[in-house]
Structure 1
Amino acid sequence: MELSLTQVLVFLGLSAAIALATWWFCRDQIGRGTGESAESDYFLAGGGLKWYFVAGSITLTNLSTDQLVGMNGAQMALLAWWELAAVVGLMMLAFVFIPVYYKYNCTTTTELLERRYNNKHIRALISILFLLGNIFIFLPAILYGGSLFMINLFDLDINLYIIAALFAIVGSAYAIFGGLRAVAVSDTFSGVLLLGLAILVTVIALNAIGWDLSGIPRERLTLIGGPDSDIPFTTLFTGMLFIQMFYWSTNQTITQRAMASPSVGEAQKGILAAAAIRLLIIPPIIVLPGIVAFKLYGDIGDATYGRLVGDVLPAFLSGAFAAAIAAAVLTTFNSILNASAALWVMDIHETYINKRPNVRRLSLWVSVVMVLLGFALIPIFNNPENSIIDLVQRLYGLLSMPILSAFIVGLLFRNVNAYAMIVAVLYGVLAYGWATNPFGEPNIGLHYIHIMAITLFSGVALALLLSLLFGSRPVWDAHNVFSRSSEAMTPIDG
């Protein structure tokens, strides 16, 4: 499909409408972030996010080009398990983790670790791991996937890095100047547009093949993965559940939205709405178009979604879909930047450099540095041997299970030596990296999701054992952490 003036005008018009609507809802917040309430205003929207903005922001923060482009690029139904299992992760966030974050009055998820271990260094280490994941994995993957989609949709003869640079500039503007409120509001408006058009693409694509999936290999339609598949069925009962627990319940980029509501109940309503969307809408739109494309074009990898959308959508709608995809890229991008700024400002800068910084100015510089680094790392994902989504999941295993081990130990036990936990976290990073070797042949003949579970359990065990060796005796404390009283508001000695 060649780019036309109509498509350009529709694209620009919808993008401007989303920006204008976001400004209108956030106009009273512009310029805030320099006083006593700076952190709450900038990183938690002043604690005033309604449930529908929580649901919209959680949905769009996760749903970006690494899902739409990457999962459809795999061209198989198996990848729907990532989204179906995510419902479990959201339930854990709603009923297990969110009440605890509110109980401890946390602004960042890592703040909970400092309170439980009574140690600032464990909080800083986990924040650094989150920041490294955002810089080296998520930001470049999002820029690459969104730029690739635009090129394939309109058959553009343009350097991918030019489009990526535009995404980076616009996305960072939302995060820098509007804070979390602007991010969440733009997420919600963009989400309505994207989900509606993604459903339309799925229906039109199925109609293009007469709703007839015959001729497609069985292994591309099954939900029961074999031992050598992308998601072996057995992994659903090992690492998959813990991946979802980590991503939805401890990841600052996601949980920050729910932590910005005025109450636990309001946050839970938003999370449950996001879970319903995740269960009913997301799985079809991230696998069915790819399967249809396999029947139409064969195995064409990450170019699948852009080409299919360009072919099946009427010309007047392709500009609207480009705006929706651009919105998905921007919302995920700016969400990661805002969460990363919160981690750096509160967990690193205020702890080790300056206790009372200008939050907005410091966040600006943090965002600029992250954008430049993320942009420079796009080549990691440009023409990868694996699909975008597969590479993202493999790489993030370096951080996810070690981080989750710190949360599990901290929530279930007290009197755990913080330095024992730090050693266990570093062990987890090195052990997973050696076992899976994400950029080469693995050193252990197990699926990387199984290795994630092994990394998690061994990390928890190592932390408890080392704590005993360091002279601390871990004590089971889950009944206090998850109680409704406010007794746990004080730090636990460790």
Structure 2
Amino acid sequence: MEIATIDIAIFAIYIVFIIGLASWVSREKPGHEKDSSDYFLASKALPWWAVGGSLIASNISAEQIVGMTGAGYDVGLAISAYELIAAASLIIIAKWILPIYLRHNIYTMPQFLEERYNTNVRTVLAIFWLGIYIFVNLTSVLWLGALAMNTVADVNIVYGLIFLGILSMAYSLYGGLKAVALTDIVQVVLLVLGGIITLYVSLEAIGHQFVGESAGFGEGAAYLFEHSRDKFDLIFDEGQHGYEQLPGIWMLLGGQWIVNMAYWGFNQYIIQRALAAKSLHEAQKGICFAAYVKLFMPIIVVIPGIAAALLYPDLAKVDQAYPELLKLVPDGFRGLAFAALVAAIVSSLASMCNSISTIFTMDIYSHFKKGLNEQQLVKVGRITTLVALIIAMLTAQPLLGNFEGAFAFIQEFTGFFTPGILIIFLLGMFWKKANVNSALVAAIGSFLLSIGFKWFAGDVPFLNRMALIFLICLALSVLVTYLTGGGKDDPKAIDLSELDTTTTASFKVNAVAVFVILIGLYVAMDF
């Protein structure tokens, strides 16, 4: 796709602005040196809007923008389940999970596991998360981001990898989480604005092409809904195209909740934003903000994909839908939309790098090398960020370059561990009898059962498979707990009676509103 000079200029302005903003917010007061709390948890001073914006920016990347637009092209609005159930999951996490984290004053997920179980569980899972974050998450965002830049703007893939890596380092390496979180709100504004522009031009094009030259956005929207009604189902019937990815009502009763609860509640590079909030109530306000944005995301990401199916019914690959739609965007606005795409990629990279450095520094390096001062911890964190990005840039193409459907593979691979991770945390938080053995059974069982189901029951939809494995591993963990613990409470059990889960009136109103909107959408779109 040809990029006009004005688009290049707008994109360059974005780059200069985001690096300048990151440098400005990273400044320290005279005489104060950045310590570990500053670098890894933004001095625990993030306001609600930074928490919410950073949650969204960390989550949305090229695979969501290009991939979900492509999924909208292929299966329609039902793919929105990943966004809609995320909104409900965020409310649950804000109410019952986040107070436990903040009560224990933790930096990382492995740290919590040591406090609840033991050091071995902390170390093993810290190493596991580092491997996943570097060789799966970081490499995939880099590679798929470079591919997206190549498709949208004809940027050489190798140059794209280098550019994305350097840009994410440029504004996050020095400032840490504070720089990432406070610039993420700009990234979210760009992301939403770019999505609105793409939605508008796609519906306007439908109006011009199918209704008449004088028709516009409104007529295009009405025509799309009327002539693509099958693409607006939120719940599939068995045998309907897309059921294997989104298996009807069973998806809503099981697999989607497991994916979203594990991702939003027990994922370091996501939950770290909430841990850095000024207070519990400020974090909960930020999470409510993120929940509303998740409810809005299908409108600006999935519906343009459905529009593309009407405008370009014969695309060779569904992921071509987003680049095709960008061709409709006028010069100038195209640069803004491209900046939004890069913003989504870079904010995810920066978030992952900061969490990698946090886990390595706080859970591995400082655990085995005692007596480090605050400045040494920050230095190790910065070096870790740099090394992780270099490793990911060097390994992205060898790991993913020759793999078809890389994102789907990555989702399924990480899903091998998701049921076990969810069980370890939920039992550790809410069941006093859970012990080290129950945690190990959940982790090992989840992996082995996932391989077994994949090998012997590959036709079972992925989300249903996760739900079945979750139930089996949960039963095994409870059984092993009673066999090895004698039915006694574990000495490291959490005393929930000391936990304050009261919420403000505004949180309760917003929580109810999110669930009412969610239920209303499913009822309205399937009747």
What TM-score does the superposition give when structure 1 sets the normalisation length?
0.89
Say if 1:475 and 1:93 are closer, same or farther in 2 by CA, change over 3 A: same
1:1-400 maps to which residues of 2 (within 5 A)?
1-28=1-28, 38-74=35-71, 75=73, 76-117=76-117, 119-154=118-153, 156=154, 158-210=155-207, 211=220, 212-213=223-224, 219-227=230-238, 228-233=243-248, 234-279=250-295, 281-298=296-313, 299=315, 300-309=317-326, 311-354=327-370, 356=372, 358-375=376-393, 376-378=395-397, 380-382=399-401, 384-386=403-405, 388=407, 390-400=408-418
Cα pair 1:33 1:41 within 8 Å, conserved: no
Cα pair 1:71 1:287 within 8 Å, conserved: yes
Say if 1:417 and 1:479 are closer, same or farther in 2 by CA, change over 3 A: closer
Shift of 1:454: 2.1
- SS of the equivalent of 1:312 reads coil
Cα pair 2:206 2:307 within 8 Å, conserved: yes
Say if 1:260 and 1:169 are closer, same or farther in 2 by CA, change over 3 A: same
Shift of 1:216: 6.1
- Write the distance in 2 (CA, Å) between the matches of 1:355 and 1:427: 37
Aligned residue for 1:411? 429
Aligned residue for 1:492? none
Say if 1:282 and 1:481 are closer, same or farther in 2 by CA, change over 3 A: same
- SS of the equivalent of 1:377 reads helix
Structure 1 residue identity aligned to 2:83:
E
Output one character per residue of 1:190-234: Cα deviation in whole Å (capped at 9) or x when no partner. 111221121121121111111222796655332122343321112
Structure 1 residue identity aligned to 2:224:
L
Structure 1 residue identity aligned to 2:182:
V
- Write the distance in 2 (CA, Å) between the matches of 1:387 and 1:215: 34
Say if 1:115 and 1:30 are closer, same or farther in 2 by CA, change over 3 A: farther
- Aligned counterpart for 1:434 among listed residues 416, 440, 452: 452
- SS of the equivalent of 2:147 reads helix
Shift of 1:268: 0.6
Say if 1:359 and 1:32 are closer, same or farther in 2 by CA, change over 3 A: farther
Gaps of 5+ in 1: 487-494
Say if 1:282 and 1:430 are closer, same or farther in 2 by CA, change over 3 A: same
Say if 1:271 and 1:214 are closer, same or farther in 2 by CA, change over 3 A: closer
Count of residues in correspondence between the two structures: 473
| Cα RMSD for the two superposed structures | 2.6
Cα pair 1:57 1:188 within 8 Å, conserved: yes
- Write the distance in 2 (CA, Å) between the matches of 1:485 and 1:265: 11
- Write the distance in 2 (CA, Å) between the matches of 1:22 and 1:446: 46
Output one character per residue of 1:318-363: Cα deviation in whole Å (capped at 9) or x when no partner. 1122222111111110001101111111112222344526222222
Structure 1 residue identity aligned to 2:304:
P
Shift of 1:68: 0.5
1:441-460 maps to which residues of 2 (within 5 A)?
443-460=457-474
- Write the distance in 2 (CA, Å) between the matches of 1:150 and 1:31: 42
